[in-house]
Amino acid sequence: MSNNYFKFKHFTIEQSDCAMKVGTDGCLLGGWFDSSDSKRILDIGCGTGLIAIMAAQRCNAEITGIEIDTKAAQQARYNADNSPWGRQIEIICGDLTEYTTEERFDTIVSNPPYFVNSLKCDDTSRTLARHSDSLDCRTFFCKCAGLLSNNGHISIVIPCDIMDEWKKAAAEQGLYPTRVTLVKTTPKKAPKRVLIEFRPSPQKQAGENTLILENSPGEYSDDARDILSQFYLKL
């Protein structure tokens, strides 16, 4: 692995022009979200194109990635074209808030910006990728509600400490959690991330389960292997 690229079993992600590099959050979300029965998938803030390409490996859906940063969008297009599934994937350079289409998506997936209060850096691209100024949770779900098919679902990965805020914003649009997976790096550590699926149907609060990444340093848990083994070289 290099900082300029990340090699998976069946594709390579070039990331020299992307502010946010390949990370565990995106890899987990790309392997965790429900891709079954999806004919059209939208990846919001697709960055390197990682999740879009992982989705294409997992299913036969038509996949659209939207990315606000020009260089990242160009690199996502390059990565998609150089994967085995380039024909399945469309990359759009644009702002989600301005995106319109007559089509509706069965699945919307996103590793969204969420660093609301952290210090902003001088790199404009990295700031766009990391901060929610450009896409806060209410704007995100408002836009998603208009793009989602009647029986569709939205899957995201966010820090645990903002989960309630995002659930509230989703509920305002009639979207409710149906799967919630807390992510712990090791058994003794508190969860820092959470994977959440939302669907447009009122129902009881989804029960939470916990995913432990590593039983010990370098030893992935069985649950983590189930999600990542089809992608990671060494699993």
Number of domains in the chain: 1
pLDDT at 72 (0 to 100):
94
Q: Number of C-alpha atoms within 13 angstroms, CB side, residue 87? A: 2
Q: Is the pLDDT of residue 124 over 50?
A: no
In a domain, residue 36? The reply is yes
In a domain, residue 233? The reply is no
In a domain, residue 190? The reply is yes
In a domain, residue 181? The reply is yes
Q: Which domain holds residue 43?
A: 5-15+22-228
What mean pLDDT do residues 12-37 have? 95
In a domain, residue 198? The reply is yes
| Beta carbons within 8 Å of 122's beta carbon, 6+ residues apart | none
In a domain, residue 125? The reply is yes
**pLDDT tens figures, 135-178:** 799 999 999 999 999 999 999 999 999 999 999 999 999 999 99
- Across the chain, mean pLDDT equals 90
Q: Is the pLDDT of residue 117 over 50?
A: no
> For position 145, which CATH number holds?
3.40.50.150
pLDDT at 20 (0 to 100):
85
DSSP the chain: -BTTEEE-SS-EEE-TT-SSPP-HHHHHHHHHS--TT-SEEEEET-TTSHHHHHHHHH---EEEEEESSHHHHHHHHHHHHTSTTGGGEEEEES-GGG---S--EEEEEE-----SSSPPPS-HHHHHHH-TTSS-HHHHHHHHHHHEEEEEEEEEEEEGGGHHHHHHHHHHTT-EEEEEEEEESSTTSPP-EEEEEEESS--SPPPEEEEESEEETTEE-HHHHHHHTTT-TT-
**pLDDT tens figures, 192-207:** 999 999 999 766 668 8
In a domain, residue 132? The reply is yes
What mean pLDDT do residues 85-100 have? 96
